[in-house]
Structure 1
Amino acid sequence: MNIELLSKRTEALHKDLADLYQTASVLAWISPELQPQAFQEILSSAKMAHLAMEELRQQNEELIQTQNLLQAECEHYQDLFELAPDGYLVTNADGIIQKANAAAAKLLNVSKQFLVGKAMINFISLEDHQHFRSELNQLLQSDTAKELVMRLQQRHDEFLNAALRVTVVRNQQGKITHLYWLLRNVTEQQQTESITIQNESDIIQNRQLYKYSKGENICLRPRVIWYVHQGVVKLSTFCETGEEVLIGLAKAGMVFGSSMTGLNIYQATALCDVELVSFSEAEIAASPTLNHSLLLKINRRLQQTECLLFNSGRLHVQERLHHLLQLLKQEIGETVPQGTRLSVRFTHEDIASACCTTRVTITRFLGILEQLGKINFDSQNHIILKD
């Protein structure tokens, strides 16, 4: 029953009560003493019903106003989704597409109606299917967004290189409800980066190489950016208790320097024999090519540091260790017959500082992982992660 109909019936009730009062006043068999009290109670109840009706009417108007605002807000976000310059898809946990915007349809060269109900893997090139499934399974076990670079298959068997950033959405019970996909065509970007890297190699070849042996501290000069030509450099600081804290790993193709941090204590140590090239901030600012090249390297360092920062906030040490090993596998892993070997040997103290725990705890957990067959060590004590 809607509010208007209820209001009309309330008004009709008032009229009926008035007619009843008139009729009762002329009936001789109703005691005159009872009439005022009875009708007073009836009229009082009628007034209360009328007030309640007015309150309901006001609440209904507020609800309609709120509904209109929500509708406008939904339309606003729908427009943002639909008109976004990048492709957006919404899928269920199995990767079945539920929503798609115009940019996604244009990127895949199909209509939006055709996309809905299709499996996401249908638009992945056949040679990337196994890799896509593996990455998606890993993603479903975590709560962090992840970016995948895949070859997407367009209509008429045309292909493009795309970056797929995937975010997992869970309900209050922790069950996956949706996956959000951001799609970007990176074919031109990769071509530009390839040209940039080639120019960068030319620049490096004409510069002096600075060599540091394993375990040496690298001199951090003001307004100088170091570029790692070969090897891996550990970047760390020290907390108030004197314990070392890992804040980054600069591998070949990455940059570091004292001007890139706001920390008062900042230390760079060669984890193996390294070769470095230096650039002054002045020459970087004067060269657009160099500026662009090093900006890409800084971005990689930033992403890595954010991963380390997020990992340090995990509740359990086992989780911190697991995700650190996965990050190291991604950053400095090399394929060997037994699995993935970390190209640099880390001490238990190094791993403990990155996991915000003690060396004894890391030694115990690494022992457990080795007993479970998830890791082992080579003759030089490099960790090998089993695939």
Structure 2
Amino acid sequence: MNIDKLEIDKFTQRTQGMYRRLTDLYENLNTMPIMPDVLPQALVELGSASEIVSLATEELHQQNEELIQTRTLLEAERQRYQDLFEFAPDAYLVTDTLGIIREANHTTATLLKVSQNYLIDKPIVNFVALPDRPAFRSYLTQICECTKVKELVVRMQKRDGELLDAAMTVGVVRNQQGKPIALRWLIRDITERKQAELALLKNDGDLTQNRLWHKYCKGESISLNLSTLWYVCQGCVKLSTLCETGEEVMVGLAAEGMVFGSSLTMLHIYQATALSEVELVSIDVAEIAASPNLSHTLLPKINQRLRQTEFFLVIAGRRRVQDRFDQLLLLLKQEIGEPVAEGIRLSVRFTHEELASACCTTRVTITRLMGKLQQQGQIYFDSKHHIIFKDI
């Protein structure tokens, strides 16, 4: 039985009253002769006070035992959750709103090949691959505005320089006033999954076998119809539409190993143009429906186009032209970038007009932004005017 506040108040009042009466009795004994009835009364009062103190002491002792048991249970529960966090099969870490790591579990340290102590107080962006850092920083500045859990796929870099593909799930921790105070990160290594997808993307035997190859020169328009898909064997195709003002807007790129076709869009005006010399094979939509193997081979390629389309939507949603341009260059590096000694080279040459149409701005603006990047030493051009991103 616990002593509640009312009982404690009652006990305090009774004890204070007993103390006052005992004080009066003691003073009376010093100033007045002992009366026959005074001593028994004093003994009764002392006995009552002793009983109250004994009862309170017993109840306080019982309450203390219960508090010790509760504390033990809470400590065991805390340790259980700490173990769940520490030895979870996935990497978990907690950062502040700026991305500075405050907590990291054992799996995170193993994944990144560092000690747990090394991770503390380090910016999480330090473990993101260099080419992905600008986009990651941009993402980090916006995450605190989100009210839902967000997911992203990013390349991370281990301490020894090895890269891995990681799927991140990020949740925002808020205080009682709704202000963001921390970020929780769940990180999964999806390198093997990505490699399996790439293996499927490269499984072109069923797509090119016994099919007629079609060649288009740079700048040629490629015919489209609803009954067929085009598969790119070589080269790169620009997919675009026309806005109300008649200006062309780039909505996608189909590089080697990708598919495109009017059956994959709802745009009324949809055109495909060869950005380089292109070799294609056509695949009948009815054949895809009748062949599970063909459908299985094409599915990851269609997913690849879907992810690219979403990236173009993100580019279009940026308010600042600089941000749209930065995101476009990141997409181009991922889609058609090829490693060279100097850095990453785009396999296709783009005009300033084409880059402007992809990020909804003017050719003059693109020329200015390109000049700025050249002055900063971030890009330059090879002898064929292909963009090369300097490896810095």
Show the counterpart of 1:91. 94
Residue 333 (1) aligns with residue 337 (2)? yes
Deviation at 1:244, TM superposition (A): 0.6
Structure 1 gaps of 5+ residues are 10-77, 99-114, 153-160
Question: Residue 280 of structure 1 is aligned with which of 272, 278, 284?
Answer: 284
Show the counterpart of 1:183. 188
Q: Secondary structure in 1 aligned to 2:361?
A: coil
Cα 1:133–1:318 shift into 2, 3 Å: closer
Cα 1:191–1:237 shift into 2, 3 Å: closer
Question: Residue 271 of structure 1 is aligned with which of 250, 253, 275?
Answer: 275
Show the counterpart of 1:236. 240
Match for 1:317: what amino acid?
A: V
Residues 200 and 290 in structure 1, CA contact (< 8 A), matched pair in contact too: no
Residues 95 and 120 in structure 1, CA contact (< 8 A), matched pair in contact too: no
Match for 1:180: what amino acid?
A: W
Residue 147 (1) aligns with residue 153 (2)? yes
Distance 1:133 1:176 in 2: 26
Cα 1:329–1:188 shift into 2, 3 Å: closer
Distance 2:185 2:101 in 1: 10
Distance 2:173 2:383 in 1: 44
Residues 325 and 359 in structure 2, CA contact (< 8 A), matched pair in contact too: yes
Cα 1:237–1:136 shift into 2, 3 Å: closer
Residues 210 and 276 in structure 1, CA contact (< 8 A), matched pair in contact too: yes
Show the counterpart of 1:350. 354
Matches within 5 A, 1:363-374: 363-374=367-378
Cα 1:328–1:190 shift into 2, 3 Å: closer
Show the counterpart of 2:298. 294
- Which of the pair has more CA radius of gyration? 2
Instruction: Give identity over the alignment, percent.
Output: 48
Residue 165 (1) aligns with residue 153 (2)? no
Cα 1:287–1:97 shift into 2, 3 Å: farther
Residue 211 (1) aligns with residue 215 (2)? yes
Alignment RMSD (CA, Å)? 3.9
Show the counterpart of 1:313. 317
Residues 219 and 276 in structure 2, CA contact (< 8 A), matched pair in contact too: yes
Match for 1:355: what amino acid?
A: C
Question: Residue 124 of structure 1 is aligned with which of 112, 119, 124?
Answer: 112
Deviation at 1:166, TM superposition (A): 5.0
Cα 1:318–1:174 shift into 2, 3 Å: farther
Deviation at 1:286, TM superposition (A): 0.9
Match for 2:168: what amino acid?
A: R
Q: Secondary structure in 2 aligned to 1:357?
A: coil
Residues 235 and 246 in structure 1, CA contact (< 8 A), matched pair in contact too: yes
Deviation at 1:181, TM superposition (A): 2.5
Q: Secondary structure in 1 aligned to 2:318?
A: coil
Show the counterpart of 1:246. 250
Q: Secondary structure in 1 aligned to 2:269?
A: coil
Distance 2:287 2:328 in 1: 36
Distance 1:333 1:180 in 2: 30
Cα 1:365–1:258 shift into 2, 3 Å: same
Distance 1:382 1:365 in 2: 16
Cα 1:374–1:166 shift into 2, 3 Å: farther
Deviation at 1:368, TM superposition (A): 1.5
Deviation at 1:371, TM superposition (A): 1.6
Show the counterpart of 1:156. none
Distance 2:377 2:359 in 1: 21
Distance 2:131 2:108 in 1: 13
Show the counterpart of 1:41. none
Cα 1:379–1:133 shift into 2, 3 Å: closer
Cα 1:95–1:233 shift into 2, 3 Å: farther
Deviation at 1:221, TM superposition (A): 1.8
Q: Which deviates more, 166-175 or 252-261? A: 166-175
Distance 1:326 1:207 in 2: 34
Cα 1:315–1:220 shift into 2, 3 Å: same
Distance 2:129 2:364 in 1: 37
Q: Which deviates more, 245-254 or 130-139? A: 130-139
Residues 153 and 165 in structure 2, CA contact (< 8 A), matched pair in contact too: no
Distance 1:288 1:186 in 2: 26
Deviation at 1:284, TM superposition (A): 0.4
Distance 2:131 2:178 in 1: 24
Residues 212 and 273 in structure 1, CA contact (< 8 A), matched pair in contact too: yes
Deviation at 1:355, TM superposition (A): 1.1
Q: Which deviates more, 364-373 or 277-286? A: 364-373
Deviation at 1:183, TM superposition (A): 2.1
Deviation at 1:374, TM superposition (A): 1.4
Cα 1:380–1:122 shift into 2, 3 Å: same
Match for 1:369: what amino acid?
A: L
Cα 1:323–1:206 shift into 2, 3 Å: same
Residues 129 and 156 in structure 2, CA contact (< 8 A), matched pair in contact too: no
Distance 1:339 1:313 in 2: 29
TM-score by length of 1: 0.63
Deviation track 1:137-179 (CA, whole Å, cap 9, x = no partner) reads 5464121753146799xxxxxxxx8743354859899988325
